[in-house]
Amino acid sequence: MQAYEGYFENGQFYLINQTAHIKGRRRAFITILDEPAQENNIIKMIAEFDRMVDESADENEILCEENFPRFNYGRELITFSDGED
């Protein structure tokens, strides 16, 4: 038996801080509690995610070749592709 915490919204069940790994078709029981989901936690998680996205908006500029030059091994670079040339 496994238990998952989450909330229902608009007919969908959303897990909180977990991932369900269920193989095959299984019998399940759902218990709806007489208390609302903690909206504050969900809002805080979304706000934190948005903050992290905003912070990382310019990270591609950090990874430019000037900051991380390739080492010259004196050999031609080999690239792999699905098609034959």
Is the pLDDT higher at 28 or at 36?
A: 28
Structure tokens at 24: 């095959």
Pair 24, 10: CB distance under 8 Å? no
3-state secondary structure (DSSP) of residue 84: coil
Model pLDDT for residues 12-26, shown as the tens digit of each residue = 888 877 777 778 888
Separation between Cα atoms, residue 18 and residue 5, nearest integer Å: 8
Model pLDDT for residues 29-85, shown as the tens digit of each residue = 878 777 776 666 777 788 888 888 888 777 766 666 776 676 667 777 777 876 665
Q: What is the pTM of this model?
A: 0.33
The pLDDT of residue 17 is 73
